[in-house]
Amino acid sequence: MELEAGSIVEGRVVRVTDFGAFVELPGGEQGLVHISQIAHEFVRNVRDFLNEGDIVQVMVKGRDPKGRLDLSIKDLTPAPEGGPPPRPRRLPKQSPEFENKLKSFLRGTGGFGGGKKKGGKRKR
List Cβ neighbours of 37 (8 Å cut-off, separation of 6 or more): 20, 61, 70, 71, 72, 73, 74, 75
| CATH, domain range 8-76 | 2.40.50.140
Q: Do 87 and 54 touch, CB atoms closer than 8 A?
A: no
Pairwise CA distance, residues 77 & 110, whole Å: 57
Per residue in 46-83, pLDDT (tens digit) is 999 999 999 999 999 999 888 889 999 999 988 888 77
| Chain centre distance of CA 75 | 19
pTM over 0.85: no
